[in-house]
Amino acid sequence: MAEQVARTVLLVEDSPVQTRIIQNHIETLTPFRVVTASSLQETRDVLETRRALAGANPEEGLFIAVVDLNLPDAPDGEAADACIAAGVPSVVLTASFDEGVRARFFDRSVVDYFLKGSVRDMDPMVAALVRVFRNQWVRALVVDDSRTARHQMAHLLEVQRFQVLQAENGREALEIIEAGNNIGLVITDDNMPRMTGVELVSELRQRYRPDEMGLIGVSAAGSGPLTARFLKNGASDFLTKPFEVEEFYWRVNQTMDKLDMMRELMAFRKGRA
């Protein structure tokens, strides 16, 4: 991995006690540094300062923000909006949850949301930070003959910090991969001209082991037999259109977590040999 990258988390939380707990948890379980803000204005100040520092040294920038949804001067997620507008992906923390809140989160292109709770409840949030950090080195390829669907999935991957390429069909996808673009994840529709998604997955799995490339099939045709065909031909997972943004993120990041675990296991076995 490249060394000169931002490894600092901006934590926006107005409770000093919660700030200390969350900061300690992040810094104990990860290699990340944490800077804090307790209001919308402080958030803006930190964003401006860190942007200026990153101009001279990328390591001084922010790679993600963890933001309390309700601040005294920003009761409706305005601090998260400020971070996203500044190009800093945001994870939202909230004490309560309903479907309306959830929809607003993902409409604003937040990375994820988590409910406030005990220290143990913060483990998934910390894992999400690590996943997003690792994603920035992964090139993902979205394959779909529908421009709208392709761009939607590409945008969701970019929110999760993947480097994203796009292809209109399976043949074009193979050309992109064969050109040496070092693709780590392929998300492909099934019903496409020239080559179906199942055929593309089968072809790729013959060339790349499960620890070398993640393959996710998607289709509006529903699950059942098509899911089985994708999985039996080497897909890592399958999604039915239309899908929930939250499900898309979960399946994509679970696939990447599995790849990381397989690679670590392969490295361990080679070290034991």
List phi, psi (to 5°) of 49: -65, -45
Q: Does domain 138-272 have CATH number 3.40.50.12280?
A: no
Q: Per the confidence metrics, is the pTM higher than 0.85?
A: yes
Confidence of residue 273 (pLDDT cuts 50, 70, 90): low
Domain ranges of the chain: 8-134, 138-272
Q: What is the pLDDT of residue 99?
A: 77
Q: What is the pLDDT of residue 73?
A: 94
Q: What is the pLDDT of residue 85?
A: 94
* Structure confidence by residue, pLDDT tens digits, 231-265: 999 999 999 999 999 999 999 999 999 999 998 88
Q: What is the pLDDT of residue 65?
A: 97
Q: What is the torsion angle, in degrees rounded to the nearest 10, for the CA atoms of residue 155, residue 2, residue 185 and residue 148? A: 20
Hey, what amino acid is at 5?
V
Q: What is the pLDDT of residue 272?
A: 67
DSSP states along 185-236? EEEEESS-SSS-HHHHHHHHHHHS-TTT-EEEEEETT-STHHHHHHHHTT-S
Q: Do 8-134 and 138-272 share a fold?
A: yes
Q: Does domain 8-134 have CATH number 3.40.640.10?
A: no
